[in-house]
Amino acid sequence: MNQAWAYLKLGGVLVLLTALVGVGLLLGYWLLGEVERSEVMTPAPAVRQADGALVLARQPIAKAGKPVHALPAASVEERRIQLHVRPETRPTEAAFALDCLCDPVQVDVSLVRDAEGGQRVVASSPDGEVLAGLDMPLTPMRLSAPPSTWAAGLSWSPRQRVAGIWLERDIGRLRLGAELLAQDSRLDPRLRAGWTW
């Protein structure tokens, strides 16, 4: 009897320690784990650089209107850029002609995310036709695989000789599951709920 009581107390202590460690890990991950962060998009003024290039002014808006040009199918507009360019004056070939004085040209550019998660650039101009352009990705984007939200499998308890099947679904950090065990010629259904980290 004393030996059974000792095993029972030891089992209770192990269960309590396991629960405390699990809660500690869960709280630690929740408080210190990786959290998705959004880009900080505060307004910023335009800055003219020494080489004449212009760091564009940044003006975040809560809800953008319709794009000025058509976007590729299944793409999402991530950034909208508008440029005003004054062409340089250049001498013409006519004998007594003055330099060509051209009006500033507006160019509208959209950075879009395509259906595969990559990025593309769309450009147009209300002042004329965009003749050519070049999008040069310098750093490859890390495309993550879509998360798997379903899982299924078989379970087996060698000690009790019980087999079963299970199905789980992740909804955010919540994991819901169901298990069906074949125990002593009867089916024993179980429901599960847990937390992912």
| Mean pLDDT of all residues in 175-187 | 85
What is the rounded radius of gyration, in angstroms, for the C-alpha atoms of the chain?
Answer: 32
pLDDT tens digit string along 48-90? 999 988 888 988 877 778 888 999 988 888 889 999 988 877 6
As a whole-number percent, the residues of the chain with pLDDT over 70 amount to 77
The residue with tokens 């269960």 is 15
**DSSP states along 13-64:** HHHHHHHHHHHHHHHHHHHHS----PPP---B--EE-TTS-EEPPB---SS-
Residue labelled with tokens 């980290």: 197
- What is the total residue count of the chain? 197
Who has greater pLDDT, 60 or 101?
60
Supply the pLDDT for residue 28: 66
Surface-to-core class of residue 110, CB atoms within 10 Å of its CB (0-12 exposed, 13-18 middle, 19+ buried):
buried
Dihedral sign for Cα 43, 54, 142, 79, please: positive
Task: Report d(CA 86, CA 135) in Å as an integer.
Answer: 22
Is residue 161 helix, strand or coil?
A: coil
Q: Is 41 exposed, middle or buried (0-12, 13-18, 19+ CB in 10 A)?
A: exposed
What is the distance between the alpha carbons of residues 190 and 166, in angstroms, rounded to a whole number?
Answer: 9
Top-confidence range, 1-15, 25-39, 71-85: 71-85
Q: Identify the pLDDT of residue 122.
A: 92
Q: pLDDT of 118-170, one tens digit each?
A: 889 999 999 888 889 888 887 777 766 677 788 888 888 888 888 888 899 98
Question: pTM here?
Answer: 0.53
Question: What is the spatial distance between Cα 196 and Cα 177, in angstroms, rounded to a whole number?
Answer: 12
Give how far Cα 168 sits from Cα of 64, 155, 179, 181, 192, Å. Answer: 39, 13, 9, 15, 8
Picking from 71, 159, 58, 74, the residue whose alpha carbon sits closest to that of residue 109 is 71
Long-range pairs for 39-47: beta carbons < 8 A, 24 or more residues apart: none
Ranges of each domain in the chain: 1-36, 47-124, 148-197
Question: Would you place residue 9 in the very low, low, confident or very high pLDDT band (cuts 50, 70, 90)?
Answer: low
